[in-house]
């Protein structure tokens, strides 16, 4: 017969420890979060042997009174939650009173703490969850906690630890995420005697990101900032040029807490639709500020996941913040999308939102009807970049400008005119606030010609711009097709063309008949193994039609399309690619000019597959190559 035993508090603590303290990195996270909650301005973390033998976290926060220092290691001892009601709006990182109990049950702890205003501090030694020694001591205000020999009394868990190097790297990564979430706190990490990172704690997101992510990544970041009804978004997104192979460079913070969120990932990635290569992920450092009551952090033991009360509003805020950063409309005070764009975006966003949130929370389909309300929300305020004037911020702001220059060099001369006279600068195109596509006239440029029957050469100021004519033209056609609201003109063929297809492909055509006809294809089955093409999208050549149909079948048949919007995009990619002028063919001067103008105006930046359409060589660069300057 099974017998029910009540677990001893020690065993219960060990089990709870397993949830909170998985590895040294989780200890570091919990200790840093306690320091944040204590109002620390400076935190130093030191670790040895991957954190397995030694972790020390020192802060200059409020510290503890001797009586609190005695009880803080007890389970459910917390100063942060008074009653059930305060669970509804949690403003601190911790609230369950579990971390110190859990950590102390699987390690040897030494704590030195002094409360502000107390004449002396307290030193406590804790062994396997029990206080072994407690005495007054002299120390500065704040708290130092040293965790030694983690998991020394739980050999089973010890076995699961990876190498010291791997655990140490995880510690660095966890601490870095914590530090990135709090630009107002200076965090230093020392690993085996070597400083791994240091954030200045000046409250500026720019200096925080720069010091923690490094110059290289900071250079590729575009500032984003938006204010929604009850949510504000700040941070950076990566330039589409610098896509990454995974999502390791994406950081999301909600009220300073680093979280994982499929919803926020989707919102950011949606903004890159058609500008980032498939399989590449953007970098993002995204700070959301919202009232503690509109987010539930009590849904995960390690508090790394949250539940938003209004997912759609949050999605919209992040999506538009990222989009405005990418379209480079930061300097304008207000971004207004035209009705058609808003409608098109709304449609594709709706699909995306549906597919992502349904996989996130099965059984609960969010109301997509509400997205109709999006039209009222399609004005968002994009704040001016707040780049501070302290010396640190100043040198931090440079990479930000440089990164704008890099984007602008090839595509938006308006924001970074090379040294010109005032008169000339006045002529340079400007993006009007409130205009969706820049109503600009091309700045002075000269079409030099074409080379290798592939690249258009354009001279503008001190820049030589090379444009991939096929990629740029493909994008122009793609955008035009998209703006036709997916009702694309068909051109009826004088003599219909029959083409042989596999049974599977014929099925695909039948299944997608409606979609294809909306996109300008008139196709009917013809016998068992062929189709007859009566019409193709205007602009495409009939000789391309059979290849186009095969390619479309291939794409639609892969079954990886999550939504109709994705299928439409894939088909439009194919149509645009086929209708565009090809590399290797000679192209008329007038046509080259049209493409060059569109690129210089900044209307075309990436081909529909996310490849850049232009490359800029500066005079300085060429002068260097020729050793005219060093
Ligand atoms: P929680 O953070 O969920 O309250 P913990 O076990 O992490 O639970 O901490 C227990 C309590 O110990 C906290 O509520 C706080 O009062 C106190 N404490 C822990 N770390 C610090 C610190 N670095 N500075 C001041 N007080 C601290
Ligand atoms: Mg805590």
Asked whether residue 381 is domain-assigned, the answer is no
Nearest atom in ligand 1 to the alpha carbon of residue 99 is 6
- The 10s digit of each residue's pLDDT in 475-513 is 988 888 888 766 677 888 878 888 888 888 888 888 888
Residue 43 lies in a domain: yes
Ligand 2 centroid, distance to 250 Cα (angstroms): 25
Residue-wise pLDDT for 566-577, tens only, equals 788 888 888 888
E strand spans, 462-605: 463-468, 490-500, 522-526, 530-537
- What number does the ligand 1 atom closest to the CA of 81 have? 4
Please indicate, yes or no, whether the overall pTM of this predicted structure exceeds 0.75. Answer: no
Instruction: Specify the residue with its C-alpha closest to ligand 1, atom 23.
Output: 35
Q: What tens digit of pLDDT does each residue of 139-168 get?
A: 999 999 999 999 998 887 888 888 899 999
Q: Domain check: are 30 and 141 in the same one?
A: yes
Does the C-beta of 112 come closer than 6 Å to ligand 1?
no
Same domain, 435 and 454: yes
Q: Which of 188-197, 230-239, 439-448 tops mean pLDDT?
A: 188-197
Distance CA 409, CA 532 (A): 47
Q: Which of 198, 219, 250 is the last residue of a domain?
A: 198
Q: At 484, give phi and psi (nearest 5°).
A: -80, 10
The number of the ligand nearest the C-alpha atom of 103 reads 1
The reply to whether ligand 1 has any atom less than 6 angstroms from the CB of 124 is no
Please report the atom of ligand 1 found closest to the CA of residue 100: 6
Atom of ligand 1 nearest to the CA of 92: 2
Number of domains in the chain: 3
Residues 50 and 143 in one domain: yes
Q: How far apart are CA 51 and CA 334, in angstroms?
A: 48
Question: Ligand 1 pocket check: which of 90, 98, 100, 110 to mutate, most ligand atoms within 8 Å of Cβ?
Answer: 100
Give mean pLDDT, residues 209-220. 83
Q: Do the beta carbons of residue 605 and residue 411 sit within 8 Å?
A: yes
Beta bridge partners of 231: 290
Per-residue model confidence (pLDDT) at position 87: 63
Q: Are residues 215 and 355 in the same domain?
A: no
- The whole-number pLDDT of residue 436 equals 35
CA 447/CA 476 separation, integer angstroms: 19
Q: What is the pLDDT of residue 486?
A: 61
Share of the chain above pLDDT 70, in %: 76
| pLDDT tier for residue 559 given thresholds of 50, 70 and 90 | low
Selection from 283, 269, 431 nearest residue 353 by Cα: 269
Average pLDDT, the chain: 77
Instruction: Give yes or no: residues 236 and 127 share one domain.
Output: no
Instruction: Flag whether pLDDT at 407 surpasses 70.
Output: no
Instruction: Pick the residue whose CA is nearest to atom 20 on ligand 1.
Output: 34
Check which CATH number belongs to the domain holding 94 and give it: 3.30.565.10
Q: Please, are residues 505 and 550 in contact by the beta-carbon 8 Å criterion?
A: yes
DSSP state of 281: B
Structural domain that includes position 221: 205-327
Last residue of a domain, one of 182, 198, 214: 198
């Amino acid at each position: 017969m099974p017998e029910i035993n009540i677990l001893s508090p020690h065993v219960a603590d060990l089990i709870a420890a397993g949830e909170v303290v998985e590895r040294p990195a989780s200890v570091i996270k919990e200790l840093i979060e306690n320091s944040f909650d204590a109002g620390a301005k400076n935190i130093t973390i030191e670790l040895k042997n991957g954190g397995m033998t030694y972790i020390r976290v020192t802060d200059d926060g409020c510290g503890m009174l001797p009586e609190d220092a005695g009880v803080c290691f007890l389970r459910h001892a917390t100063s942060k939650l008074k009653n059930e009601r305060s669970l509804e709006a949690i403003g601190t990182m911790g609230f369950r009173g579990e971390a110190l109990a859990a950590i102390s049950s699987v390690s040897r702890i030494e704590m030195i703490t002094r409360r502000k205003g107390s004449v002396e501090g307290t030193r406590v030694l804790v062994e396997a969850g029990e206080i072994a020694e407690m005495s007054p001591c002299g120390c500065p205000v704040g708290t130092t906690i040293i965790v030694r020999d983690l998991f020394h009394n739980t050999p089973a868990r010890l076995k699961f630890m990876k190498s010291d190097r791997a655990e140490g790297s995880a510690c660095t990564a966890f601490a870095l995420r914590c530090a990135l979430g709090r630009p107002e706190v200076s965090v230093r990490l020392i690993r085996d005697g070597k400083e791994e990172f240091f954030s200045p704690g000046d409250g500026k997101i720019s200096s925080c990101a720069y010091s923690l992510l490094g110059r290289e990544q900071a250079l590729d970041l575009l500032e984003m900032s938006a204010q929604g009804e009850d949510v504000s978004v700040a941070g950076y997104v990566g330039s589409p040029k610098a896509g990454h192979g995974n999502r390791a460079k994406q950081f999301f913070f909600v009220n300073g807490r680093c979280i994982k969120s499929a919803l926020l990932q989707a919102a950011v990635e949606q903004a890159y639709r058609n500008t980032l290569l498939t399989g590449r992920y953007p970098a993002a450092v995204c700070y959301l500020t919202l009232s503690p009551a509109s987010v539930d952090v009590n849904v995960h033991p390690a508090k790394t996941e949250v539940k938003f009360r209004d997912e759609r509003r949050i999605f919209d805020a992040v999506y538009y913040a990222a989009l405005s950063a990418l379209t480079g409309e930061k300097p304008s005070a207000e971004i207004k999308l035209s009705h058609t764009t808003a409608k098109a975006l709304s449609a594709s966003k709706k699909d995306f939102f549906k597919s992502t949130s349904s996989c996130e929370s099965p059984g609960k389909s969010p109301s997509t009807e509400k997205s109709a309300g999006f039209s009222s929300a399609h004005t968002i305020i994009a704040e001016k970049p707040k780049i501070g004037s302290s010396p640190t911020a100043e040198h931090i702001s440079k990479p930000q400008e440089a990164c704008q220059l890099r984007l602008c060099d090839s595509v938006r001369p308006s924001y970074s005119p090379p040294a010109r006279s005032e008169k000339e600068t006045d002529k340079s195109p400007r993006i009007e606030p409130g205009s969706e596509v820049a109503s600009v006239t091309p700045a002075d440029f000269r079409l030099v010609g074409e080379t290798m029957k592939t690249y258009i050469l354009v001279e503008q100021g001190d820049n030589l711009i090379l444009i991939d004519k096929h990629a740029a033209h493909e994008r122009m056609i793609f955008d035009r097709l998209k703006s036709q609201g997916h009702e694309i003109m068909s051109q009826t063929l004088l003599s219909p063309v029959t083409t042989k297809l596999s049974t599977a492909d014929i099925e695909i055509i039948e299944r997608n008949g409606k979609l294809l006809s909306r996109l300008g294809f008139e196709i009917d089955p013809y016998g068992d193994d062929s189709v007859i093409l009566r019409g193709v999208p205007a602009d495409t050549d009939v000789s391309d039609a059979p290849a186009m149909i095969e390619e479309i079948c291939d794409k639609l048949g892969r079954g990886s399309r999550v939504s109709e919007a994705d299928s439409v995009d894939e088909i439009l990619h194919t149509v645009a690619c086929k209708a565009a002028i090809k590399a290797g063919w000679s192209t008329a001067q007038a046509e080259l000019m049209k493409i060059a103008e569109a690129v210089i105006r900044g209307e075309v930046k990436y081909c529909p597959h996310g490849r850049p359409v232009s490359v800029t060589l500066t005079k300085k660069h060429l002068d260097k190559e020729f050793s005219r300057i060093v």
